[in-house]
Structure 1
Amino acid sequence: MTTVHPAYAQLRRVTDIASVMLENNPGMMTLDGTNTWILRAPGSDEFVVVDPGDNDEEHLQRVAGVGAVALVLITHRHFDHTGGVSRFHELTSAPVRSVSPEFLRGSGTTLVDGELIEVAGLRLRIVATPGHTADSVSIVIENEGSVLTGDTILGRGTTVLDDSDGDLGDYLASLRALIELGDGRTVLPGHGPELPDLQEISKHYLAHREERLDQVRAALVSLGDSASVRDVVEHVYSDVDPKLWPVAEKSVNVQLAYLRR
């Protein structure tokens, strides 16, 4: 029987190249848990791991146990994707590459927008997609066209923009860049199940963001420019469970910063 998401503690094959190991760390921000992606080209004995997860020894041991890891890539800085970087490097000795220098390990170097990484029979193109965080990237598996999106696009729901370094203008530009990659590309997200068409979901995300932005504008007209973030959240996110309002405040902070620029 073919396994489907969520399937904890097992390697679930998603495409000819990409398999996922779902970490058992569900939560408000992680949904069902963090997806650790494990890439293997046909005929290769080596793997590339994307986002080893947080500092969960059982999860890291399971991922390390798949075989020889040639390279580790990080989509963005959040702890649920990077907390286990040091321990995973100890387990595998594989170099770790990211945008942020703090996660580099071994011979790993900083990721550069547009670069093509050729390793273990894989051709992986880095696409800068900031907005969720300043250091967010997506990774195109050129061998088959699928795209690892980190938290820029999720398998369900929508992305929360980090109000410490997230930027709505950057995020809207990133969504447009993903749309331009074309249709028919499988989405391999940082959380949630895979999706069949990157262009379609990116257009949906873009429309949703623009709708929310219009709602925030309208809220400021109604409430006044001095309205608090919580006032705007209660006005705009009345359709969302109030338990999620503290999370929505992060996105509203980013939206207000965008509008006030």
Structure 2
Amino acid sequence: MSAARPRGERAEHPAYGVLRPVTATASVLLADNPSPMTLDGTNSWLLRAPGSAECVVVDPGPDDERHLTRLAGYGPVAVVLLTHGHPDHADGARRFGELVGAEVRALDPALRLGGEGLTGGQVVSAAGLDIRVLATPGHTADSLCFLVEHDEPAVLTGDTVLGRGTTVVAHPDGRLADYLESLRRLADLAPGTAVLPGHGPELPDAGVAARGYLAHREQRLAQVRAALDRLGPDATARDVVEVVYADVDRALWPAAELSVRAQLEYLREHG
């Protein structure tokens, strides 16, 4: 689950079904599942060091046999990693793991297939790469990012940082306090660390992107406070959405309401 495509923007994307190299170690295959919540679709990432026969697949995406079969064709696959359990990232993971004969690893035990779990600080060594696991809860409780420190450092961010727009804090599973801390962790990455997101185009610098997200969250919190001052203490999350997100497509208001609930919880916790 992610943020919205700007109004009027078309869902078409030139990379559907085509593996697109992005860095010396990362290529992306875009799933054909565009929606207001997935932007152009889910980015399924293939990681491999130059010269490696095997690859690592991050987020096989939805349970779409055509997409999974295409993805499998770029194997052999050493291991499958999941950034989090939302269906647009993980629904196809079990089928894909069976298709390519690879373990599926995730923080959530329910998402794993024949492999051990993932926790922050671990290093997954596969396909000639050392991939560091970063615990980045907030969008969801099980959200992870994967840092590839090769010749061109990059971080795979799932829905924690998107290539366009901002993400949803999926309350109650997602918590704003956790999310802000995760963004600060990404903001401290080395300058020039590229963002390889779960949706949207890649970004040149994770620190710049994360600091922009932090500023946006502070702005939204200020808007929520102002809305509460105007509406009174009995205002519901929906009431706040109608004020703060008045200029946003109403189709996105249910998702916005999740973020507002997370913001209200944060404000209660922090006075």
Q: TM-score by structure 1 length?
A: 0.96
Is the Cα contact below 8 Å between 1:147 and 1:187 reproduced in 2?
Answer: yes
Considering Cα pairs closer than 8 Å and 6+ residues apart, tell me whether 1 or 2 has the greater RCO.
Answer: 2
Aligned ranges 1:1-261 → 2 under 5 Å: 6-106=14-114, 108-143=115-150, 144-261=152-269
Tell me which amino acid in the other structure corresponds to 1:145: P
Tell me which amino acid in the other structure corresponds to 1:192: G
For residues 194 and 6 of structure 1, what CA distance do their matches in structure 2 show?
Answer: 15
For residues 77 and 34 of structure 1, what CA distance do their matches in structure 2 show?
Answer: 13
For residues 190 and 129 of structure 2, what CA distance do their matches in structure 1 show?
Answer: 20
For residues 182 and 247 of structure 2, what CA distance do their matches in structure 1 show?
Answer: 26
Is the Cα contact below 8 Å between 1:6 and 1:22 reproduced in 2?
Answer: no
For residues 232 and 67 of structure 1, what CA distance do their matches in structure 2 show?
Answer: 48
Per-residue CA shift, 1:23-66, capped at 9, x if unaligned? 00001111100000001111110000000011100000000110
User: What percent of counterpart residues are identical?
Assistant: 61
Unmatched segments (≥5 aa) in structure 1: none
> What SS does the corresponding residue of 1:161 show, helix, strand or coil?
coil
For residues 14 and 189 of structure 2, what CA distance do their matches in structure 1 show?
Answer: 27
Is the Cα contact below 8 Å between 1:6 and 1:193 reproduced in 2?
Answer: no
Q: Match for residue 9 of structure 2?
A: none
Q: CA deviation at 1:243?
A: 2.8
Q: CA deviation at 1:6?
A: 4.7
Q: CA deviation at 1:142?
A: 1.4
For residues 246 and 105 of structure 1, what CA distance do their matches in structure 2 show?
Answer: 32
Per-residue CA shift, 1:169-190, capped at 9, x if unaligned? 0000000000011221110000
For residues 127 and 61 of structure 1, what CA distance do their matches in structure 2 show?
Answer: 29
Judged with a 3 Å threshold, the aligned counterparts in structure 2 of structure 1 residues 24 and 68 are, in CA distance, closer, same or farther, namely: same
Is the Cα contact below 8 Å between 2:94 and 2:104 reproduced in 1?
Answer: no
Per-residue CA shift, 1:124-159, capped at 9, x if unaligned? 000111000000011000113111000000000100
Moved more, 222-231 or 151-160: 222-231
Per-residue CA shift, 1:57-84, capped at 9, x if unaligned? 0000000110210010000010111101
Moved more, 83-92 or 5-14: 5-14
Q: CA deviation at 1:103?
A: 1.1
> What SS does the corresponding residue of 1:209 show, helix, strand or coil?
helix
Is the Cα contact below 8 Å between 2:170 and 2:258 reproduced in 1?
Answer: yes
Tell me which amino acid in the other structure corresponds to 1:219: A
Matched positions, count: 256
Alignment root-mean-square deviation, CA? 1.0
